Protein backbone atom coordinates (compact mmCIF):
# COMPACT_ATOMS: atom_id res chain seq x y z
CA UNK A 1 0.00 0.00 0.00
CA UNK A 2 1.32 3.43 -0.89
CA UNK A 3 -0.10 6.35 1.09
CA UNK A 4 -0.75 9.77 -0.44
CA UNK A 5 0.53 11.38 2.73
CA UNK A 6 2.12 10.43 6.02
CA UNK A 7 2.04 13.02 8.78
CA UNK A 8 4.75 12.68 11.40
CA UNK A 9 3.67 14.07 14.78
CA UNK A 10 0.15 14.36 16.26
CA UNK A 11 0.34 17.77 17.93
CA UNK A 12 -1.91 20.67 16.82
CA UNK A 13 -0.07 20.97 13.46
CA UNK A 14 -0.29 17.26 12.65
CA UNK A 15 -3.90 16.92 13.80
CA UNK A 16 -4.99 19.98 11.83
CA UNK A 17 -3.20 18.54 8.80
CA UNK A 18 -4.92 15.20 9.25
CA UNK A 19 -8.36 16.85 9.46
CA UNK A 20 -7.62 18.70 6.22
CA UNK A 21 -6.32 15.52 4.56
CA UNK A 22 -9.54 13.70 5.54
CA UNK A 23 -11.57 16.56 4.06
CA UNK A 24 -9.54 16.42 0.82
CA UNK A 25 -9.78 12.60 0.74
CA UNK A 26 -6.06 11.98 0.84
CA UNK A 27 -5.16 8.43 1.89
CA UNK A 28 -3.09 9.16 4.97
CA UNK A 29 -2.07 8.22 8.50
CA UNK A 30 -0.49 10.12 11.39
CA UNK A 31 2.49 8.54 13.13
CA UNK A 32 3.14 9.75 16.68
CA UNK A 33 6.10 8.91 18.93
CA UNK A 34 4.12 9.43 22.09
CA UNK A 35 0.43 10.30 22.55
CA UNK A 36 -1.81 12.30 20.23
CA UNK A 37 -2.19 15.91 21.39
CA UNK A 38 1.50 16.84 21.29
CA UNK A 39 2.81 19.46 23.69
CA UNK A 40 -0.70 20.09 25.06
CA UNK A 41 -0.88 16.69 26.66
CA UNK A 42 2.80 15.94 27.10
CA UNK A 43 3.86 19.37 28.38
CA UNK A 44 0.95 21.14 30.06
CA UNK A 45 -2.18 18.98 30.49
CA UNK A 46 -3.12 21.02 33.60
CA UNK A 47 -2.72 24.51 32.13
CA UNK A 48 -5.60 26.69 30.93
CA UNK A 49 -4.83 27.67 27.35
CA UNK A 50 -5.97 31.18 26.53
CA UNK A 51 -4.71 31.70 23.00
CA UNK A 52 -7.06 29.68 20.86
CA UNK A 53 -10.31 31.15 19.57
CA UNK A 54 -13.35 29.23 20.76
CA UNK A 55 -11.54 27.23 23.44
CA UNK A 56 -12.24 29.33 26.52
CA UNK A 57 -11.00 28.07 29.90
CA UNK A 58 -9.88 24.69 28.56
CA UNK A 59 -6.80 22.87 29.86
CA UNK A 60 -4.19 21.35 27.57
CA UNK A 61 -5.65 17.90 28.33
CA UNK A 62 -9.21 19.01 27.47
CA UNK A 63 -8.11 20.73 24.25
CA UNK A 64 -6.11 17.69 23.25
CA UNK A 65 -9.10 15.39 23.91
CA UNK A 66 -11.39 17.64 21.83
CA UNK A 67 -8.91 17.78 18.91
CA UNK A 68 -8.28 14.01 18.96
CA UNK A 69 -12.00 13.27 19.12
CA UNK A 70 -12.70 15.66 16.22
CA UNK A 71 -10.06 14.27 13.85
CA UNK A 72 -10.87 10.65 14.64
CA UNK A 73 -14.57 11.24 13.94
CA UNK A 74 -13.52 12.56 10.51
CA UNK A 75 -11.56 9.38 9.82
CA UNK A 76 -7.99 10.07 10.99
CA UNK A 77 -5.90 7.07 11.87
CA UNK A 78 -3.31 7.95 14.50
CA UNK A 79 -0.60 5.43 15.28
CA UNK A 80 0.65 6.29 18.75
CA UNK A 81 3.84 5.18 20.53
CA UNK A 82 5.58 4.67 17.21
CA UNK A 83 8.58 7.01 16.80
CA UNK A 84 9.81 7.58 13.27
CA UNK A 85 13.48 6.61 13.09
CA UNK A 86 14.44 7.17 9.48
CA UNK A 87 13.16 8.50 6.15
CA UNK A 88 14.53 7.42 2.78
CA UNK A 89 13.76 8.85 -0.63
CA UNK A 90 13.35 6.56 -3.63
CA UNK A 91 14.44 8.74 -6.55
CA UNK A 92 13.08 6.30 -9.13
CA UNK A 93 9.52 5.91 -7.82
CA UNK A 94 9.45 9.45 -6.32
CA UNK A 95 8.14 7.94 -3.08
CA UNK A 96 9.49 7.84 0.47
CA UNK A 97 10.03 4.97 2.91
CA UNK A 98 9.33 5.86 6.52
CA UNK A 99 10.91 3.53 9.09
CA UNK A 100 9.39 3.52 12.58
CA UNK A 101 10.20 1.42 15.64
CA UNK A 102 7.42 -0.94 14.50
CA UNK A 103 7.34 -1.10 10.69
CA UNK A 104 7.94 0.59 7.34
CA UNK A 105 5.54 2.66 5.29
CA UNK A 106 5.66 3.91 1.70
CA UNK A 107 4.18 7.30 0.85
CA UNK A 108 4.08 9.85 -1.96
CA UNK A 109 4.40 12.81 0.40
CA UNK A 110 5.32 13.62 3.99
CA UNK A 111 4.38 16.33 6.45
CA UNK A 112 6.93 16.87 9.22
CA UNK A 113 5.05 18.13 12.29
CA UNK A 114 7.29 16.95 15.10
CA UNK A 115 7.43 20.16 17.13
CA UNK A 116 10.34 21.20 19.29
CA UNK A 117 9.37 19.68 22.62
CA UNK A 118 12.04 16.96 22.44
CA UNK A 119 13.32 15.69 25.76
CA UNK A 120 14.00 17.97 28.74
CA UNK A 121 17.47 19.46 28.93
CA UNK A 122 19.33 18.38 32.06
CA UNK A 123 21.60 20.71 34.03
CA UNK A 124 24.36 18.13 34.38
CA UNK A 125 24.42 18.31 38.19
CA UNK A 126 24.41 15.67 40.92
CA UNK A 127 20.99 14.40 41.96
CA UNK A 128 19.07 15.60 38.90
CA UNK A 129 17.67 12.12 38.15
CA UNK A 130 16.14 11.66 41.63
CA UNK A 131 12.43 10.79 41.68
CA UNK A 132 11.57 14.07 43.45
CA UNK A 133 13.18 16.04 40.60
CA UNK A 134 10.60 16.65 37.87
CA UNK A 135 10.70 17.97 34.31
CA UNK A 136 6.97 18.48 33.80
CA UNK A 137 3.84 18.84 35.91
CA UNK A 138 0.93 16.48 35.43
CA UNK A 139 -1.24 17.93 38.21
CA UNK A 140 -0.18 20.92 40.35
CA UNK A 141 -2.68 19.95 43.09
CA UNK A 142 -0.46 16.98 43.99
CA UNK A 143 2.06 19.44 45.47
CA UNK A 144 -0.26 21.30 47.84
CA UNK A 145 1.66 22.05 51.04
CA UNK A 146 5.02 20.97 49.53
CA UNK A 147 8.04 23.23 49.59
CA UNK A 148 9.10 23.32 45.93
CA UNK A 149 11.91 24.81 43.91
CA UNK A 150 11.31 25.79 40.28
CA UNK A 151 14.40 26.27 38.10
CA UNK A 152 14.19 28.37 34.93
CA UNK A 153 13.13 31.76 33.66
CA UNK A 154 11.08 31.13 30.52
CA UNK A 155 7.30 30.91 30.14
CA UNK A 156 7.24 27.21 31.02
CA UNK A 157 9.05 27.73 34.33
CA UNK A 158 7.09 30.84 35.28
CA UNK A 159 3.72 29.27 34.39
CA UNK A 160 4.68 26.19 36.45
CA UNK A 161 5.67 28.34 39.44
CA UNK A 162 2.38 30.22 39.15
CA UNK A 163 0.33 27.00 38.95
CA UNK A 164 2.16 25.46 41.93
CA UNK A 165 1.66 28.62 43.93
CA UNK A 166 -2.07 28.59 43.12
CA UNK A 167 -2.14 24.97 44.25
CA UNK A 168 -0.86 26.21 47.65
CA UNK A 169 2.68 24.90 47.34
CA UNK A 170 5.42 26.96 49.00
CA UNK A 171 7.28 28.05 45.85
CA UNK A 172 10.76 29.43 45.20
CA UNK A 173 11.85 30.11 41.62
CA UNK A 174 15.49 30.60 40.65
CA UNK A 175 16.71 32.01 37.36
CA UNK A 176 20.34 32.41 36.35
CA UNK A 177 19.70 35.75 34.60
CA UNK A 178 18.49 39.04 36.13
CA UNK A 179 15.09 39.07 34.41
CA UNK A 180 12.56 36.45 33.32
CA UNK A 181 12.35 35.61 29.61
CA UNK A 182 8.59 35.31 29.53
CA UNK A 183 5.47 37.21 28.53
CA UNK A 184 4.33 40.28 30.43
CA UNK A 185 1.21 38.38 31.38
CA UNK A 186 3.21 35.60 33.03
CA UNK A 187 5.49 38.10 34.79
CA UNK A 188 2.44 39.89 36.19
CA UNK A 189 0.92 36.57 37.32
CA UNK A 190 4.03 35.38 39.17
CA UNK A 191 4.54 38.79 40.79
CA UNK A 192 1.06 38.55 42.32
CA UNK A 193 1.88 35.27 44.12
CA UNK A 194 3.86 34.66 47.32
CA UNK A 195 6.55 32.82 45.35
CA UNK A 196 10.12 33.73 46.33
CA UNK A 197 11.92 34.91 43.20
CA UNK A 198 15.73 34.63 43.12
CA UNK A 199 17.42 36.11 40.04
CA UNK A 200 21.10 35.55 39.20
CA UNK A 201 20.83 32.26 41.03
CA UNK A 202 21.73 28.76 39.84
CA UNK A 203 20.99 25.32 41.20
CA UNK A 204 24.39 23.61 41.36
CA UNK A 205 23.85 20.47 43.44
CA UNK A 206 21.07 18.25 44.75
CA UNK A 207 21.85 15.96 47.67
CA UNK A 208 19.22 13.28 47.86
CA UNK A 209 18.54 10.17 49.93
CA UNK A 210 16.58 7.16 48.67
CA UNK A 211 13.20 8.84 49.16
CA UNK A 212 13.69 12.56 49.73
CA UNK A 213 15.83 15.50 48.75
CA UNK A 214 18.12 16.28 51.65
CA UNK A 215 19.51 19.62 50.50
CA UNK A 216 20.24 21.73 47.45
CA UNK A 217 23.03 24.18 46.76
CA UNK A 218 22.13 27.53 45.20
CA UNK A 219 24.81 29.77 43.75
CA UNK A 220 24.46 33.55 43.61
CA UNK A 221 26.33 34.05 40.34
CA UNK A 222 26.97 37.77 40.93
CA UNK A 223 28.40 37.49 44.45
CA UNK A 224 29.81 33.98 43.81
CA UNK A 225 28.30 32.85 47.10
CA UNK A 226 26.49 29.58 47.76
CA UNK A 227 23.79 28.68 50.23
CA UNK A 228 22.01 25.44 51.08
CA UNK A 229 18.28 24.91 51.37
CA UNK A 230 15.85 22.00 51.55
CA UNK A 231 12.88 21.29 49.27
CA UNK A 232 10.35 18.49 48.93
CA UNK A 233 10.29 18.67 45.14
CA UNK A 234 12.31 20.32 42.39
CA UNK A 235 11.00 21.25 38.94
CA UNK A 236 13.60 21.93 36.26
CA UNK A 237 12.61 23.77 33.07
CA UNK A 238 15.87 24.40 31.24
CA UNK A 239 14.64 23.94 27.68
CA UNK A 240 14.70 20.78 25.63
CA UNK A 241 16.95 18.73 23.42
CA UNK A 242 15.28 18.15 20.06
CA UNK A 243 15.95 14.86 18.32
CA UNK A 244 15.89 15.30 14.59
CA UNK A 245 18.11 12.28 13.94
CA UNK A 246 15.34 10.75 11.85
CA UNK A 247 15.94 13.47 9.23
CA UNK A 248 19.66 12.89 8.95
CA UNK A 249 19.54 10.66 5.84
CA UNK A 250 17.65 13.35 3.93
CA UNK A 251 19.51 16.28 2.48
CA UNK A 252 16.86 18.66 3.79
CA UNK A 253 17.58 22.33 4.36
CA UNK A 254 17.67 23.21 8.07
CA UNK A 255 18.48 26.32 10.06
CA UNK A 256 19.71 24.99 13.38
CA UNK A 257 17.01 22.58 14.50
CA UNK A 258 14.32 24.17 12.34
CA UNK A 259 13.18 22.86 8.97
CA UNK A 260 13.24 25.62 6.36
CA UNK A 261 9.95 26.02 4.45
CA UNK A 262 8.64 28.42 1.83
CA UNK A 263 5.37 30.32 2.22
CA UNK A 264 3.41 27.20 1.14
CA UNK A 265 5.14 25.04 3.83
CA UNK A 266 7.25 23.20 1.24
CA UNK A 267 10.74 22.12 2.31
CA UNK A 268 13.80 21.93 0.09
CA UNK A 269 12.76 18.39 -0.97
CA UNK A 270 9.90 17.83 -3.43
CA UNK A 271 7.08 15.95 -1.66
CA UNK A 272 8.14 16.89 1.88
CA UNK A 273 6.38 19.68 3.74
CA UNK A 274 6.65 20.89 7.34
CA UNK A 275 4.31 22.69 9.74
CA UNK A 276 4.12 23.88 13.33
CA UNK A 277 6.91 24.59 15.81
CA UNK A 278 9.49 22.67 13.76
CA UNK A 279 9.39 25.48 11.16
CA UNK A 280 10.41 27.97 13.86
CA UNK A 281 7.84 30.66 13.11
CA UNK A 282 5.43 31.78 15.80
CA UNK A 283 5.48 28.83 18.16
CA UNK A 284 1.85 28.88 19.23
CA UNK A 285 -1.16 26.62 18.79
CA UNK A 286 -3.12 28.81 16.32
CA UNK A 287 -0.05 29.14 14.09
CA UNK A 288 0.57 25.36 14.18
CA UNK A 289 -3.04 24.67 13.23
CA UNK A 290 -2.95 27.19 10.38
CA UNK A 291 0.35 25.86 9.04
CA UNK A 292 -0.88 22.24 9.16
CA UNK A 293 -3.99 23.24 7.20
CA UNK A 294 -2.05 25.23 4.59
CA UNK A 295 0.57 22.49 4.20
CA UNK A 296 -2.03 19.89 3.26
CA UNK A 297 -3.59 22.15 0.64
CA UNK A 298 -0.07 22.54 -0.82
CA UNK A 299 0.41 18.76 -0.71
CA UNK A 300 -2.95 18.25 -2.42
CA UNK A 301 -1.85 20.58 -5.25
CA UNK A 302 1.47 18.70 -5.50
CA UNK A 303 -0.23 15.29 -5.70
CA UNK A 304 -3.37 16.04 -7.71
CA UNK A 305 -2.67 19.19 -9.70
CA UNK A 306 -6.32 20.29 -9.28
CA UNK A 307 -8.06 22.66 -11.68
CA UNK A 308 -8.24 25.41 -9.03
CA UNK A 309 -4.52 25.43 -8.19
Ligand X SMILES: Cc1cc2nc3c(=O)[nH]c(=O)nc-3n(C[C@H](O)[C@H](O)[C@H](O)COP(=O)(O)OP(=O)(O)OC[C@H]3O[C@@H](n4cnc5c(N)ncnc54)[C@H](O)[C@@H]3O)c2cc1C
Does 158 engage in binding with ligand X (CB under 6 A)? no
Four-residue CA torsion sign, 287, 292, 296, 298: positive
- Report the nearest approach of ligand X to the CB of residue 201 (Å): 22
At CB < 8 A and 24+ separation, what contacts does 294-298 make?
294/264, 294/265, 295/13, 295/17, 295/111, 295/264, 295/265, 296/5, 296/17, 296/20, 296/21, 296/24, 296/26, 296/111, 297/20, 297/24, 298/264, 298/265, 298/266, 298/273
Is 110:98 a contact under the CB 8 Å cutoff? yes
Q: Contact with ligand X (CB under 6 A): which of 5, 6, 7, 8?
A: 8
Nearest distance in Å: CB 188, ligand X: 15
Q: Does position 128 bind ligand X by CB under 6 A?
A: no
Are the C-beta atoms of residues 41 and 28 closer than 8 Å to each other? no
CA angle 293, 4, 249 (to 5 degrees): 90
**Site size toward ligand X, by CB under 6 A:** 32
User: Is 290 among the residues that bind ligand X (CB under 6 A)?
Assistant: no
- Binding of ligand X by 288 (CB under 6 A): yes
Kindly state whether residue 45 participates in binding ligand X, applying the rule CB under 6 A. no
- The answer to whether 84 contacts ligand X (rule: CB under 6 A) is yes
Q: Does 61 bind ligand X (CB under 6 A)?
A: no
Mark 220-259 with x for binding to ligand X (rule: CB under 6 A) and - for no binding: --------------------------x-------------
Of 11 and 127, nearer to ligand X (C-beta) is 11
Binding residues for ligand X, rule: CB under 6 A, are 8-14, 31-34, 38-40, 43-44, 49, 51, 83-84, 113-115, 117, 156, 246, 276-277, 283-285, 288
Amino acid sequence: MIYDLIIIGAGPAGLSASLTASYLKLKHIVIEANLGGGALIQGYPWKKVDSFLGFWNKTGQEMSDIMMDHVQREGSEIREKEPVEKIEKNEKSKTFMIHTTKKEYETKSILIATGIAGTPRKLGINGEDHKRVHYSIKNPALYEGHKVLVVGGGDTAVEAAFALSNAKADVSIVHRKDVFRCTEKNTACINKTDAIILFNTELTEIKAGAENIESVTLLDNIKSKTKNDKFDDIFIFAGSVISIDYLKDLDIKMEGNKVVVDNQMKTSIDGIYAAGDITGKLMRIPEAIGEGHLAVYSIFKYLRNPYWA
